[in-house]
Amino acid sequence: MDQIARTAKQLGAAIRRRRRSLGLSQAALGERTHLRQATISALENGEPGTQLRTMIDVMAALGLEVVVRERTKSGADIEDIF
């Protein structure tokens, strides 16, 4: 399920969802990415000072990627309705 993210919090939430769907703990993800469990926690909680490096590394480890696109006028589009 693709996640739209316009804020750091939404970005963190999407990452947390994915991590959980993979059955990983923050600590386990931390090992794979050489990041501290505390750092993963901060990212998932949407700390806006988090570095892009951290987001990129975590997304790679979770098999995620980002699509940059023009904002849709509303929050919902066709696929959300049907």
Partner DNA sequence: TCACATTATACGCCGTGGCGTATATTTTAA
Partner DNA sequence: TTAAAATATACGCCACGGCGTATAATGTGA
Binding site for its own copies (CB under 8 A): 2-8, 11, 14-15, 18, 47-53, 55-56, 59-60, 63-72
Cα–Cα distance for residue pair 64/56, rounded to 1 Å: 9
The option from DNA, its own copies, none interacting with 41 (CB < 5 to 8 A, set by class) reads DNA
Look at the block and give the residue holding tokens 């987001």. 55
Radius of gyration of the CA atoms of the chain, in A: 14
Q: How far apart are CA 67 and CA 50, in angstroms?
A: 19
What does 39 bind: DNA, its own copies, none (CB cut-off 5 to 8 Å by kind)? DNA
Distance of closest approach, residue 18 Cβ to DNA, in angstroms: 12
